Amino acid sequence: MAVTFELHPIGRVRSPIQSREQAPKQGDEEAPEAWLEIDPAVAEAARHLRVGEEVVLLTWLDRADRSVLSVRPRGDERRPLTGVFSTRSPDRPNPIGLHRVTVLEIAGGLRFRVSGLEALDGTPILDIKPVLRRARER
Amino acid sequence: MAVTFELHPIGRVRSPIQSREQAPKQGDEEAPEAWLEIDPAVAEAARHLRVGEEVVLLTWLDRADRSVLSVRPRGDERRPLTGVFSTRSPDRPNPIGLHRVTVLEIAGGLRFRVSGLEALDGTPILDIKPVLRRARER
């Protein structure tokens, strides 16, 4: 499929996690709090986010290997090679991270402190979406 | 933020929905079944998907307006203008769609029939991820 699309990051993650080796595998596994720094150019899009709100954060996992199609889940050599669409491996053709986090603090309308996030320091932010409160949440 | 990233679609949605006017606002609002057609180049990544499995489908909403930062939710003129990061509007800086669907049928390892999907026919597919079965699902 020859067509491509261009992502323009809308901010960056600021986190104490500096490398993949330090990162928990998932956000609910003792991941630290982090700050989301949003680009002033999209401040209008972020102005209704509120403390206490749960959101889905989309990131670009810029240190992932996009050529990987199969992995051993959680890097466990005893587990069989598994197609990446059946895993949450960051290594995949389009390494978009999905993270469910809660907004804990808002500073100056552009900086958002959030709960347990497994993304590395400097990770580009692509989007923020509200969690849907419906029978079938996405 | 000057840096950009390039998405390479890994497939396309085939759906009876041909226009935004025909599309339901969310997948749980009487959205039709659809087929996901996966690029043979990434067949290896899809080979462990199974019928009955619930997955998160990520799409590129290629008919969205990326310049939009505020909308009236659900196009309702009585509702106030709301920053898009607090809405599920397809119009947003990086129009990535998140859809929770169930695999209903697999044909030839590359075509997947899925439950209620609100994406338009021809929508590029970016990624498929398993739903996390944990205390905090993302």
Q: Are A107 and A113 in contact (CB under 8 A)?
A: yes
d(Cα B50, Cα A105) in Å, to the nearest integer?
41
CATH topology of domain A14-130: Elongation Factor Tu (Ef-tu); domain 3 (2.40.30)
Q: What residue segments make up the domains of chain A, in order of their start?
A: 14-130
Rounded to a whole number of angstroms, the distance from the CA of B12 to the nearest CA of chain A is 10
B138 pLDDT higher than 70:
no
Minimal-distance CA residue of chain B relative to A116: B136
Choose the weakest-confidence range: A1-10, A93-102, B121-130.
A1-10
B116 pLDDT higher than 50:
yes
Interface of A with B in 42-81 (CB under 8 A): 42, 44-49, 55-56, 58, 60, 62, 69-70
Chain B residue numbers with beta carbons less than 8 Å from the beta carbon of A47 are 83
d(Cα B33, Cα B98) in Å, to the nearest integer?
16
* pLDDT band with cut points at 50, 70 and 90 for residue A137: very low
Q: Are B88 and B119 in contact (CB under 8 A)?
A: no
Interchain contact B1–A (C-beta under 8 A): yes
d(Cα A5, Cα A128) in Å, to the nearest integer?
19
* pLDDT band with cut points at 50, 70 and 90 for residue B69: very high
* B88/A48 Cβ within 8 A: no
- Return the higher-pLDDT residue of A97 and B74: A97
Q: Which residues of B47-63 are buried (b: 16+ CB within 10 A; e: fewer)?
A: bbbeeebebbbbbbbbe
Rounded to a whole number of angstroms, the distance from the CA of B34 to the nearest CA of chain A is 17
* pLDDT band with cut points at 50, 70 and 90 for residue B28: low
* pLDDT band with cut points at 50, 70 and 90 for residue A117: very high
B137 pLDDT higher than 70:
no
Q: Nearest to residue A123, comparing CAs of A60, A72, A36?
A: A60
Minimal-distance CA residue of chain A relative to B7: A5
Which one of A3, A5, A62, A79 makes the best mutation probe of the B interface by having the most chain B beta carbons within 10 Å? A5
B134 pLDDT higher than 60:
no
Chain B residue numbers with beta carbons less than 8 Å from the beta carbon of A55 are 85
Place of tokens 């039709």: B32
Q: Does the predicted TM-score (pTM) go above 0.90?
A: yes
Which pLDDT belongs to residue A22? 84
A11: its two tokens: 């901010």
CATH topology of domain B11-130: Elongation Factor Tu (Ef-tu); domain 3 (2.40.30)
Rounded to a whole number of angstroms, the distance from the CA of B126 to the nearest CA of chain A is 6
Q: Nearest to residue B110, comparing CAs of B33, B31, B58, B49?
A: B49
DSSP conformational letter for B74? G
Rounded to a whole number of angstroms, the distance from the CA of A31 to the nearest CA of chain B is 13
Interface of A with B in 3-42 (CB under 8 A): 3-12, 26-28, 39, 41-42
Cβ neighbours of A39 (radius 10 Å):
17
Q: Nearest to residue A84, comparing CAs of B41, B43, B34, B95?
A: B43
* A45/B138 Cβ within 8 A: no
